[in-house]
Amino acid sequence: MRYTLATLLLLASASSSLALKMAFPFDIPMMEEEAASAGIAHTYDGPFEYFVGGGAASFDCNGDRMADVFLAGGAGEAQLFINRSKAGGALAFEKIDPGLSANDLRRVTGAYPLHIDGDGILDLAVLRVGENWLLKGNGDCTFTKANRLWNYDGGRAWTVAFSATYEAGNRFPTLAFGNYIDRTAPGSPWGTCEANVLARPQGTDEVPNYSTPQILEPGYCALSALFTDWNASGEAALRITNDRQYYRGGQEQLWRVPQDRPARPYRTADGWQRLQIWGMGIAARDLDADGRPEYALTSMGDTKLQALDDESGEDRPIYRDQAFEKSATAHRPYTGEDGKPSTGWHAQFADFNNDARTDLFIAKGNVEAMSDFAAFDPDNLLLGTLEGGFYEAGDKAGIALKTRGRGAVVEDFNRDGMLDLLVVNRGEPTSLFRNLGRRAKPETDTGPMGNFLAIELRDETGANLSAIGARISVKTGNLTQNQTVAVGGGHASGQAGFAHFGLGVAERASVRVQWPAGENGEAEWSHAYRAFADHHIVITRGAAEPLMWFPPQ
Amino acid sequence: MRWLILPAVLTLAVTAHGAEPWEEVSGALGQVEALPSGALSKAELEDLIAIGDELFIAKFTSAEGAGRPAATQAILPTKRRNPATSAFARTSGSDSNACSSCHNDPVPGGAGDFAATTFVSEGFTNSDFDTTDPQFSNERGTNHLFGAGLVELLAREMTAGLHAQRAAALVKARQTGAPQTVDITTKGVSFGSITARPDGIVDTSNRDGIDADLVVKPFGQKGVMVSLRQFSVNAMNHHHGMQPVERFGPRWTGEADHDGDGFADEIRAADISALVAWQATLEPPARITPEDTTWRDLAATGSQNFDAFGCATCHIRTLPLDSLSFADPGPLDTAGTLKDRDVAEPAVYELEFLEWAKTLERDDQGRVLVPLFGDLKRHTMTDRTNERLGNELLAQRFVDRTAFATTELWGVASTAPYGHRNDMTTLDEIIRAHGGEAAQSAMAYRDATDRHRTTLIAFLKTLVLN
């Protein structure tokens, strides 16, 4: 179609640009649910304690760099599934025995993978109603309970939130456990929130020692926690989102965690503004590449999208909500007849359509049978727009199911460069969506989307092998995309492995890494690595070139 | 019939370019209604080539979208910070009206004079520059395109070969649990070695003359372009401000008129296909046998000296090609240039249909021996004693500034001047400019007698465009 200038001027009078005439001209991924055929048969369920939680951990437990999954089961058993998918093929998983008793696998609300003892094998922090487990990975997808070995008291709390960071000068990670309701307190559940726990490694032993945790009081019924370097100071603070349903006088929290000193919360005097939401999940991403992350906070009703306000300062965390202006409130179901408010849980930024614009996934689902909130509450797939906002494409993508979503992982399970999606649903089978690519003509057909780059970091200078806290900066043309390697956030769900970047039409990218300080060193920027699109690369701290990785065929 | 021609092209007797005589447009656009697909018949291919020919020589005008007032020359859709002050600029572009404005010596598709050099920059920052200072751009001579289809086919087969060797090494590493270091060689050209590890990691640090992705990129002085299609999409925007939809259209930019000149969807994918078809089917250069007996005798000796001096180490006389089926879109492009997986069925152009294909030599395995005098590989071309070719400041697309792809010598006699900047008027100059990996050969040439040097030039003068 060709426009004459005169025609164009007429068009321009009706709309400021041709772009405005197109609702969403970019690729919408087709997500095909194939949990059953992939061998994932799993349900998260149970009584009141399992209205929340329902997490998943995605990580490689057998050294093949394919993402295996550990799924919380609530009152039922958690299950571990080994990824047997082939590159680009249908998703395939095989359930295996993680080497734990059935009792140990019950009462699990969520899990996060991370390197705890630095032995080169990923470990697992398992959150439970009751004693939490730190599981030491054995390398063959079996695990050994290591609470005693690492002097960790798993407590008796109802834990749903977790995060970890490697503080400068420490060999082992600092762990934060976010607890929900203290069920034993008088008047429970109303106003009886459990305090949270900050477990920092003690001493100089060869093995982690978490014998002296700090109790983070007050606790406000935490449902998600995330260590995040909110002000690019090099020192992570602990952000906690809390459920106003049960606290009294509570609010969202941000704790300073200064090196070698006790953690303490930011207060009004520091600029921290009181925010009360039904906080369920946290996602962080530096959406505008200014070095300071933005945060999506899920809730009942509208999701928050927080960015630092102009009045914020170096140590003044003042945020403003951008959710409305960016069409990210996701406050009601976007399809169906149910107009009641939504209930949001897991949140995760990712680029599902590889267009180099960040998307936002939100798992949705009624708590149980709350009549004031939507019963049909489909998960959101908010695709990033050119203007920095979001466009809801959950129904078009095929993820608008009648399920009650909780935790989730966004991961490229078949290593085809397109992000897939696993959603743990309460009381219903877990969903597993394979990303088939863009919808093409005819409507049943699919096609490739934009280019991608998947980056795994290796820091072999200490125990922080996954380089938690590292910032990956990918530059294509004038566009910079930043991601931070983090453990925590979402809703009871974590993952370890490749960081995924959509590159759009860029055929290559320059990659720089800001490595974390580590046990003895200092934070430092790498040189610019050269990477070609549509590859998985592994960058080892200090290496001259990235290495390429290829999945099993 | 797998593609359609709009009626305009069927009325050539009236309007040669599908436009009224008084219209100030090229009239070359939009003649192919749908993207070609499947195997084209000889007649269909000839029709498509004819349209591609029109597109190649078409002088695009501002009345059909030439110029890019709101976009830069960058290969990624990039907006200008400030509006362009003029539609054309010989430095940062847009810098020409037609493909043939530069590729015209001695005929369309040919090389270009020094007057037709272009200035290559990333185009992301400092995209507007009005100087030839090398801190802003690399000045590049215009290469000829004859035989380009064969070159791309060779590159695809070489890439497939290298990738197969990499895959086999990975399988063996995974099966044995031990790292596998393998030499990677395809069509007799060595690209160094790689080590595949049992965990799926491939260490390519010992590769030679190729990117870590092991994709042979045969086009451009630096060997950075995968395909004629990619080159065409880049060039249309850079040189003419005609933005192909497959990269600058709504799917990637959200706009139908990314360059802000008032014209939506300036070049559709089918037009690019016609351009590719024309380029891919250009007759390859030939080696003539001079009628002048003196020249013939000198050339015969020069051919021997070509080997003796070591020229043939990189300027390999022929590379074997298994198939003359040219598929477009091809297998190796990435998003932003159509690739085979983007379409239901790529078009296939059988180069066998073309008369010139009958003249190609074949080996005892039936493979076509493509007489390109090249290796489709990059080499370091400078050293401390000879920096004649090291006059650039900017690395291009990850390629070190001292590395260049081996120039295919077929047609060299018809495509002076020489060098990546087209600033050397004689073959003698460019041979002497060889340094780095080619230093030994250049030294052999310099140390040879006048007569032997003359014989080499005489030999090279037999490599002409038909």
Q: Provide CB contacts within 8 A for A315, sequence distance 6+.
A: A231, A233, A270
Chain A residues in contact with B170 by the CB 8 A cut-off are 550
Hey, which bits of B231-337 come out as E strands? Answer: 286-287, 319-321, 325-328
Q: Provide CB contacts within 8 A for A335, sequence distance 6+.
A: A378, A394, A395, A400
Q: Provide CB contacts within 8 A for A103, sequence distance 6+.
A: none
Task: Quote the DSSP letter at residue B88.
Answer: -
Which of A1, A450, A548 lies at the smallest CB-CB distance from B265? A1
Tokens in use for B168? 């086999």
Where b means 16+ CB within 10 Å and e means fewer, A425-444 reads bbbbbbbbbbbbbbbbeeee
CB contact under 8 A, B76 and A63: no
Q: Does B250 touch chain A (CB under 8 A)?
A: yes
> Using an 8 Å Cβ cutoff, are A301 and A319 in contact?
no
CB contact under 8 A, B262 and A64: no
CA distances to A59, A472, B167 from B180, in Å: 27, 30, 11
Distance CA B25, CA A320 (A): 52
Mutation choice for B interface testing from A8, A17, A383, A505 by most B CBs within 10 A: A505
Tokens in use for B24? 């100030």
Tokens in use for B180? 């596998």
Coil, strand or helix at B346: coil
Report the chain B residue with the minimal C-alpha distance to residue A475.
B124
Return per-residue pLDDT of chain A as tens, 553 residues.
333 334 333 333 333 444 444 589 999 999 999 999 999 999 999 999 999 999 999 999 999 999 999 999 999 999 999 999 999 999 999 999 999 999 999 999 999 999 999 999 999 999 999 999 999 999 999 999 999 999 999 999 999 999 999 999 999 999 999 999 999 999 999 999 999 999 999 988 899 999 999 999 999 999 999 999 999 999 999 999 999 999 999 999 999 999 999 999 999 999 999 999 999 999 999 999 999 999 999 999 999 999 999 999 999 999 999 999 999 999 999 999 999 999 999 999 999 999 999 999 999 999 999 999 999 999 999 999 999 999 999 999 999 999 999 999 999 999 999 999 999 999 999 999 999 999 877 666 789 999 999 999 999 998 999 999 999 999 999 999 999 999 999 999 999 999 999 999 999 999 999 999 977 778 899 999 999 999 999 999 999 999 999 999 8
Tokens in use for B113? 């004079």
CA distances to A262, A277, A366 from A159, in Å: 22, 19, 20
CB contact under 8 A, B253 and A530: no
CB contact under 8 A, B334 and A451: yes
Chain B residues in contact with A503 by the CB 8 A cut-off are 335
Coil, strand or helix at B436: helix
Coil, strand or helix at B459: helix
> Using an 8 Å Cβ cutoff, are A268 and A255 in contact?
no
Which of B170, B254, B263 lies at the smallest CB-CB distance from A386? B254
How does pLDDT run across B316-336, given as a tens digit for each residue?
999 999 999 999 999 999 999
Phi, psi of B281 (to 5 degrees): -105, 5
> What is the predicted pLDDT for the residue at B127?
87
Report the chain B residue with the minimal C-alpha distance to residue A60.
B199
Amino acid at B71: A
Chain A residues in contact with B251 by the CB 8 A cut-off are 25-27
How does pLDDT run across B17-43, given as a tens digit for each residue?
568 889 999 999 999 989 999 999 999
Q: Provide CB contacts within 8 A for B238, sequence distance 6+.
A: B73, B75, B93, B94, B95, B118, B123
Chain B residues in contact with A455 by the CB 8 A cut-off are none
- Token pair 């460069």 is at which residue? A417
Chain B nearest C-alpha distance from A506 (Å): 6
- Token pair 């000045």 is at which residue? B139
Vertex B124 angle, CA B118 and B125, to 5° = 100
Distance CA A283, CA A287 (A): 11
- Token pair 């110029």 is at which residue? B67
Coil, strand or helix at A9: helix
**Which residue in A325, A330, A359, A324 sits closest to A345, CA to CA?**
A330
Distance CA B347, CA B44 (A): 11
Task: Quote the DSSP letter at residue B421.
Answer: T
Task: Quote the DSSP letter at residue B14.
Answer: T
Q: Does B253 touch chain A (CB under 8 A)?
A: yes
* Residue B84 predicted with pLDDT over 60: yes
How does pLDDT run across B394-452, given as a tens digit for each residue?
888 899 999 999 999 999 999 999 999 999 999 999 999 999 999 999 999 999 999 99
Interface of B with A in 47-66 (CB under 8 A): 64
Tokens in use for B107? 């005929």
Phi, psi of A294 (to 5 degrees): -100, 160
Chain B residues in contact with A505 by the CB 8 A cut-off are 76-77, 247, 252, 334-336
Which of A450, A477, A551 lies at the smallest CB-CB distance from B78? A477
What radius of gyration, in Å, describes the C-alpha atoms of chain A?
22
**What ranges in B2-41 are assigned the alpha helix state H?**
7-10
Domain B286-322+367-464, CATH number (from 1.10.3720.10, 3.50.20.10, 1.10.760.10, 1.10.10.10): 1.10.760.10
Which of A477, A508, A552 lies at the smallest CB-CB distance from B74? A477
CB contact under 8 A, B124 and A8: no
**Which residue in A183, A134, A138 sits closest to A156, CA to CA?**
A183
Distance CA B193, CA B185 (A): 8
Task: Quote the DSSP letter at residue B237.
Answer: I
- Tell me the angle at which helices B148-176 and B269-280 cross, rounded to the nearest 10 degrees: 100
> Using an 8 Å Cβ cutoff, are B73 and B93 in contact?
yes
> What is the predicted pLDDT for the residue at A14?
38
What radius of gyration, in Å, describes the C-alpha atoms of chain B?
23
CB contact under 8 A, B257 and A385: no
> Using an 8 Å Cβ cutoff, are A172 and A234 in contact?
no
Distance CA A457, CA A467 (A): 6
Which of A4, A532, A549 lies at the smallest CB-CB distance from B201? A549
Handedness of CA A320, A324, A327, A330 (dihedral sign): positive
Mutation choice for B interface testing from A20, A452, A507 by most B CBs within 10 A: A507
Amino acid at B424: M
Query: Chains A, B: CB contacts under 8 A, how many?
Result: 126
CB-count exposure of residue A187 (10 Å: 0-12, 13-18, 19+): exposed
- DSSP line for A322-367: -TTTTT----S-SSSS--SPPBEEEEEEE-SS-SSS-EEEEEE--S
CB contact under 8 A, A386 and B205: no
Q: If you count them, how many residues does chain B have?
A: 466
Diameter over CA atoms, chain B: 72
> What is the predicted pLDDT for the residue at A12?
39
Distance CA B74, CA B67 (A): 14
Chain B residues in contact with A8 by the CB 8 A cut-off are 257, 262-264
Q: Residue B439: which region, alpha, beta or left (left: phi > 0; alpha: psi -120 to 50)?
A: alpha
- Enumerate the domain spans of chain B: 8-143+225-280, 148-203, 286-322+367-464
Q: Provide CB contacts within 8 A for B207, sequence distance 6+.
A: B184, B191, B192, B193, B194, B214
Coil, strand or helix at A284: strand
Tokens in use for A217? 């009081």
How does pLDDT run across A249-291, given as a tens digit for each residue?
999 999 999 999 999 999 999 999 999 999 999 999 999 999 9
**Which residue in A52, A377, A392 sits closest to A246, CA to CA?**
A52
CB contact under 8 A, A547 and B202: yes
Which of B75, B124, B212 lies at the smallest CB-CB distance from A478? B124
Distance CA A198, CA B34 (A): 63
Distance CA B77, CA B373 (A): 36
Q: Does B7 touch chain A (CB under 8 A)?
A: no
H or E segment and range at residue A227: strand A222-228
Distance CA B48, CA B26 (A): 17
